[in-house]
Structure 1
Amino acid sequence: MNFLSHFYFDRHSEDPHLVLGTVLPDLVKNARKDWNLHPERNAERFSSNFESSILEGWKRHMIVDRNFHNSEFFAEHTAGIKKAIIPALKNSVVRPSFLAHISLELMLDSTLLTENHVQTVDFYSHLRQSDREAINRFLKLNNIQDTSQFFIFFDKFIQSNYLESYRESQNIMYALNRICMRVWKDPLSDNEILVLGDILNDYHQNLLGNYMEIFEEINVKLIDS
């Protein structure tokens, strides 16, 4: 799941460090692809309240992603999106399975926003309130000694308010193209972007009828964990 979908499960929390932890795995990977953190393997290292809250959020992120990727909802909709976009990608280097996976996640984020289940102002407020020294210690305890690269990305991520753009359906295709550009050089032509945008917009509209079922399913798993 993407940032806002993870935030959904803890949107009522008053602990900014817990909320930060729920999205920190993705923030770290966006800051630098080769960083592989596994703080849950060394939980005893995180003794302060702030750091333990970050770790708790991190664990919740893992539970959410594991249940999402193993769900019938994920299998059904990634297969449906893949089938719909394969013809548009016949001359592209982009893997349909990759684009289907990311598309579904961005659709869910967008829908949570447009249906007013989450607000980006609340999400970014939690990130701003988190203690930078606690984040710095958390990263260093995970063997990231030069944390400056993370904080450069983190600050830009907050300042850009980028996730708010997901309210507009056309911006989903823009975001998808940007993600593909991290993996492939010149992944999509202008015409492919237009065609894919129409296909994904149609699929997104059909998703509106049952999108909440995956959040309800995962929420039960979080309660039971």
Structure 2
Amino acid sequence: MNFLSHYYFDRNRGNPYEVLGMVLPDLIKNADKSWNIHPEKNIHLFSEDENIKSLLFGWKRHLEVDKIFHNSSFFLYHQHQIKVSIKDSILGSPVKPFFLGHISLELLLDNLLLSENLIDVEVFYKLINEVDDQILKKFINLNQIEDTDRFFYFFDIFKKEKYLYNYSNTEKITYALRRICMRLWQNPFTEEQEYHLTKSLILYKTKLSGEFLHIFELIDLQLN
């Protein structure tokens, strides 16, 4: 799941460290895709400070949410249906429809949460801005990452630009997909492909809107 979908499960929690921990695995990977850390396997390292423990608590919830989501019939069905619906839109693109179907589904879920006013993005940004950088730095250092400047460079941009607001606009999802794909391919889509991809996703959002909440309810039951 993407940032806002993860936040959905902590939307009623007021602990900034738990909320940040819930999205931290993706932030770490976005800052440097070579970083592959597993704090959940070294719990004893994170027991001396309550805020550090809260970051770890959120981290573990993130992993559990993704595990439930990616093994659900909802995910398997809709990522396949999106793949089928967009494959003609991206003919000739180096991007595989399967890859795009997976990411598109996650971004559409974020979009629907915003469209239905089920989360408050401003509260999300407010909470993560309350996290003490020194505590976050210590958590990252405990995971054997020394180059925290690299992380905080990305994290500061993430907080400043607040690009998650853009997910409320379905047309901006294609832009987000392009940015993600550009990490792997220099020119993932032509302008014409982007146009047709956007139309396909807008159409699929209509199909998804009537049932997307079921997956959040399912995960919530298993998580809590």
TM-score range (shorter-chain normalised) is over 0.9
The corresponding residue for 2:121 is 120
Measure the CA separation in 1 of the matches of 2:71 and 2:57.
Answer: 21
- Tell me whether 103-112 or 176-185 shows the greater mean CA deviation: 176-185
TM-superposed deviation, 1:89? 2.2
Question: Matched residue of 1:220: which SS?
Answer: helix
Aligned equivalent of 1:157: 158
Q: Secondary structure at the match of 1:183?
A: coil
1:12-35 Cα distance to aligned partner (Å, 9 max, x none):
111100000000000000000000
- Aligned residues: CA RMSD: 0.7
CA distance in 2 between partners of 1:89 and 1:163 (Å): 25
> Structure 1 stretches of 5 or more lacking a match?
none
Q: Hey, what does 1:24 align to over in structure 2? A: 24
Aligned equivalents of 2:14, 2:180: Cα separation in 1: 31
Q: C-alpha displacement at 1:104, in angstroms?
A: 0.3
Is 2:197 aligned against 1:196?
yes
1:191 corresponds to which letter in structure 2? E
Tell me, in whole angstroms, the C-alpha distance in 2 between the residues paired with 1:206 and 1:95. 22
Counterpart of 2:53 in structure 1: which amino acid?
A: S
TM-fit CA distance, 1:133: 0.9
Alignment partners' CA distance in 2, 1:207 and 1:108 = 9
- Cα deviation per residue 1:125-182 (whole Å; 9 max; x = unaligned)? 1110011111000000000012000001101000001000111111011111111111
TM value normalised by structure 2:
0.98
The one-character-per-residue Cα deviations of 1:103-144 (angstroms, maximum 9, x if unpaired) are 000000011011111111011011100111110000000000
Counterpart-to-counterpart distance in 2, 1:77 and 1:127: 31
Q: Which residue does the alignment assign to 1:12?
A: 12
Paired residue type of 2:133: R
Could you report, residue by residue, the CA deviation over 1:51-73 in whole angstroms, capped at 9, with x for unpaired residues?
00000000000000000000000
Offset at 1:185? 1.5
Question: Aligned partners of 1:155 and 1:12: how far apart in 2?
Answer: 24
Question: 2:218 is aligned with what amino acid?
Answer: E
Alignment-derived partner of residue 146 in structure 1: 147
Structure 1 distance, partners of 2:56, 2:10, is 14
Give TM-score, length-normalised by structure 1: 0.98
Contiguous gaps of at least 5 residues in structure 2: none
Aligned to 1:89: 90
AA aligned opposite 1:137:
K
Q: Secondary structure at the match of 1:45?
A: helix
Moved over 2 A (4+): none
Deviations 1:183-218 (A, max 9, x none): 111110000000111011100111100000000000
